[in-house]
Each structure stands twice: as structure tokens, then as C-alpha cells.
Chains A and B, each alone.
Chain A
Amino acid sequence: MECKGIREKLSTYLEGIASLEEKRLIEQHLRSCQRCSTAFEDLRKTGELLKGLEEVEVPPWFKQKILSRVRAEEGAKRSVLQKLFYPLHVKVPIQAMATVLIAVLVVYVFKGVEPEMKKSIQSPAVVGEVTSEDEVSKTVQESDRPLAPPNDQTALGGYAEKDKGPATPVTQPVGGKGALSTTEESAPSKPGEEQLTQLAAKKKEAAADQHEQGVETVESLTRQEAAEFKQAPQAMPQEGDVVAFSDAAKETGERKKLAAAPRSMEAMVAKQRPIVVMVHVKDAHVAGKEVENLLNQLGARKIVRESREGREIFTAELQAQDIRELFKKLKAIGEMKEKDASFVGPEGDVAVRIEILINP
């Protein structure tokens, strides 16, 4: 074996990990080669010098320093975790979440129950029943639509005579064709079926006029009227019922529904509505007598007279052709204010309501 090969093996030979064959060859070579023997000796002394190197000792508190750094890192980690999960920190978000959850739950429950609540509120209206007179009163009061004049009953005077309520000064038109509902009152004022075309042009004026009077009517709507409403659905079509007994908040919708009401119903209502005439006089009593005579002269039927708050109120039915004559005579009696004064209708009976007021 060459010296170079031997020297490469010297390291493993020195460690004792050379094979037996290598070991024999190396030992044989070292005995014969002075240079390789010297190299081996230098290598052995190098190992001894390394062995002679003393170990350095760890400084005091070395372990503690390391552990304190480790704990500091752990603490930093924990503080981050604590911010996220520590109960005291989590508590507030949990409460907030719970509150939001409850709020959402309540909204859902309310939404779920709402349709049934509406049903339960609407159900009386569907069957056409008004449970209390307060509701009726409220419905009328809250309504901003034009109301029928307080003595609308004039148009139904024939019926009112039978059922006139003693407790109120207002004549109650009940029976016969069926009582008027609020819906009916809100319908355009028409003296008869034949007046439908003219009424459209005068609708606004009539409505305003009726509204003024309607304010007074509200107070006069009493128990009898409530009873009237109860009976109304029997006579009225279903659409009208629903509209009539809906709450005040849905008045706009009601009006739309009314507009879409069948024409036959409108005609029927219009027929029942009276012509309202207001006559301003100096002496209501004297004028009252004159009007009564006038009505008799013109062959009016179903004449009803009543006095209230210094006013004389007549309701009657006249032949349509006599209306103009009536207006003419009334103008002679006093200052007449009548929107329908120019009314010229076809033949047939027309309901008239004459209010005699003292001139201010």
C-alpha cells in the first residue's frame, strides 16, 4: 500500500474502526516507513492536544436566563390567546352576541306571529261585525275622507221613521233596503241613479261640504249607528264590508276599493243620498213653517221635521221635476246655499234635506 493510501487510513486506524486487514497493512507499513510513522505520531499527539482542551463551564444563572426568556415568550403567546379566549375578555363579546341573537329571535317570532295577529284583528271586519261602538266612532273620527252629512238619514227618511231612536236627535234610517255603512257614507253624494253623470263634476265640492258637516256627524254617531253598522254587511256586498270595517290607517286603500266598487252599488247608494240645502233665515221657526208648507204644496212625501240647536231640519222626498221649483221658493224664503241648486234630474223621487239656519 502506498504512503498516501496509508495516511488516509491512519485516521480510522487511530479511532480503532479500521478493518483487521487494513489494520495489519497499516501496522506493517508504519514499521517500514519512517515518514508515515512520524505522521501517525503527529496525528496521535494532535488528538492528545485536543483531549487536553478543558471544557468551559456555563456561567451562573445560565439556565435561569434561558428559562426566563422562554417564559417571556410563553407569556407573550398566552397574552395573545387570553385576548381571544380568556373568559373575562370573551364575556363582553358573548353578551353582545347574546343580545343580538335575542333581538333577531324576537324579530323572527314577531314576524311569524304578525300575520295571525292581523287576521285576528281583521276577522270581525270580515264577518261584518263591529264589536264596540268605540271602534266605529274611532273609524269615523280618524278618517279624513269626506263624511256624509249628519242627517244623511233624510235620504232614508222612509225607513228612519220606523226606527227613529229616541235617545238622539238624529233620525236613524234603519231597515228596508238596509242601513248605510261608513262606506256608503263615504261614497259620492248623489240624489239618485240618474244623477251619476252630474255628480262626477261636483264630487269635490260635495265632499268638502260633507266633510264640514261630517265633523258634527262624528259626535252624533251613536249606539244606533253602531247597530246600523252591524246590520250593514247583510245588505252590502262583501267588498264594501271589508272596506267599511277596516281600521282608519287603511282609509286610502278603502277609497281605492270604493272607486272600484260595482257601478250598481254606487247607483244604489247615490239614489239614497239626499240633496242638501242650507237656507239662512232670520227666524228659523217662521221659515220652518214656510218650508213645511212649501213641501206640502209640492207634494213631498215622507216629510220629517226636527229641531236641533236652533236649526230646523227637513227631510223629504220629492219628484225630480219639483226640485227646481223647491229651490226657487227656498231662495225666496232665505239665503240659500246649495251646491246642487242647478240640479236638473230626470223623473223619479229625490231625497231632499233642508237645513234652516239662523243668519249670523
Chain B
Amino acid sequence: MTLWVKECRLSSGTNPPQELSNGLGEKKPVVADEDYELVALCQKGDVETFGALVEKHQKRMLNIAYRMIGDYEAACEVVQDAFVSAHRAIRKFRGEAKFSTWLSSIVINLSKNRMKQLRIQWQREGLSIDHPKETEDGPLSNDPPAQEPSVLEQLEKREVQAKVQECIHSLDDEYREVLVLRDLQGFSYEEIGDILKIPDGTVKSRLFRARDALKESLKRTLGDL
């Protein structure tokens, strides 16, 4: 059987996060970070180096935000704000976690704030929370074109993806965030614990419930899986 992590990890182009601790809930030392040198240069005020960090992490952060919010434009704004906030606070970054982890926590927090705003906005506009405002091309209009030759297959795939996104979006915030971070972005339990500031055991149990909830939601939406 193929491992869940390998199955769920998307081809984001980034290296999978390293497991730095064997035991759950262990106190971690300052972690090794491949971004350490770039971050150190940024802390000295090198904006161009920060550009390199943006280049490296922008896509992953945008996907986190997009899966969290379900709105592409809002996700773009959130990620921009997150990078600017990160740069503003980068001198306070002490390397107690990886830069990607630290940045992801900023994106998650800003995404949650934005979702609250959007929920209020959608409620005012009479839209369902589970059916966010779609663009002319649908919620996944910015997805790259599919490789399948068949237009029908393309449309079918798009439709399935949109429904999966709807199901993800219907989850509670605490389920959605662990699901996005673990099953879509491949963060380790430890990293997710760092990002969400929760123990690893909580991450594990929350992830089990999130997957179960998503499964039930997909069964209701798609019928038989």
C-alpha cells in the first residue's frame, strides 16, 4: 500500500519537511533550516534576498491560503500581506522553527481572519458559506489547464475538484487547516504543531477527525467514492 503522505503530497516543487523529532510532543531545539542563510541576509536589510525567499515559498503559501479561503483573489491578497508582515518581523525571527513553518503560520492566521471577513460579507450578500462567490470561470479558474486531451474529462475533473474544494471549505477551521497542511502541503505533525501552536497528539487526532469528516462530506456530495 502506498503511504498516505506520498499519495497526498502535491508536486509543489519544494522539499518535504524534515522530521526533526522522533517522539511526539518533545521539546525541540532550534531546527536546521535550509533558508537560514537567506533569512540572515534579510535580517540585515537585503530586500533582494527576501525576493528569493518569496520566489521559493510563494506558490506553497498561495495554495495554503487558497485551500483555506477558497477564493483565489483573496488568497493572493492574504499571501502578499503575509510576506510583507514576515519581512516586517523578520528581525524578530530567531530560528526556533523553520522559516517555512513560521511563514505558514502567518498565512494560516491571516487566512482565518480573511475567512471571517468573507463569511460576514457573504452572509450580507445572501451567499452560502459553503458556496463561496465564484468568478466567471469558476473557483478554480486559475488552475493550470489539465493535461487530459478530452474536454469532457477536463470538465469532469474540474467539477470534481470544485466539489472537493467545497467539501474542504465546509469543514471546521480546525479540521481544514490540519488537512490542508498535512494532506495537501505535506507538513510533518511536528511542523503542524508549530504552525498551529498545538501538541502533536492533538494534530494527530484532529487530522483523523478531519479526514473522516471530509470523507463523509465527499460521500454526500459525490455519492459513491
Contact = CB atoms under 8 A, between A and B. Distances in A.
Interface of A: 7-8, 11-12, 14-16, 41-43, 45-59, 62-63, 65-67, 69-71, 73-74
B202 interface: no
Contacts of A54: 140, 143-144, 146, 161
A65 B164 CA distance: 31
Interface residues of B, number: 54
A16 B1 contact: yes
B204 A50 contact: no
A56 B140 contact: yes
A63 B58 contact: yes
B164 A49 contact: yes
A56 B66 contact: yes
B215 A59 contact: no
B180 to A, nearest CB: 9
Interface of B: 1, 3-5, 7-12, 45, 47, 50-51, 54-55, 58-59, 62-63, 66-67, 72, 75-76, 79-80, 83-84, 87-88, 140, 142-144, 146, 157, 160-161, 164-165, 179, 183-184, 204, 207-208, 211-212, 214-215, 218-219, 225
Given A11-B207, A46-B225, A52 B164 contact: yes
Given A51-B7, A57-B142, A70 B50 contact: yes
B21 to A, nearest CB: 14
Judged by DSSP, the binding face of A is helix
A43 B215 CA distance: 6
Contacts of A14: 1, 3-4
A216 B183 CA distance: 120
Contacts of B225: 41-42, 45-46, 49
B83 A70 contact: yes
A51 B63 contact: no
A74 B42 CA distance: 12
Given A14-B1, A52-B157, 13 more contacts: A15-B5, A16-B1, A47-B8, A50-B183, A51-B10, A52-B160, A54-B146, A55-B144, A57-B142, A57-B143, A58-B76, A66-B54, A69-B84
A55 B12 contact: yes
A70 B84 contact: yes
Contact of A50 (B8, B72, B79, B83): B8
B55 to A, nearest CB: 6
A67 B142 contact: no
Contacts of B183: 47, 50
A74 to B, nearest CB: 6
- What are the 4 closest A-B residue pairs judged by CB atoms, nearest first? A15-B4, A16-B3, A45-B225, A14-B4
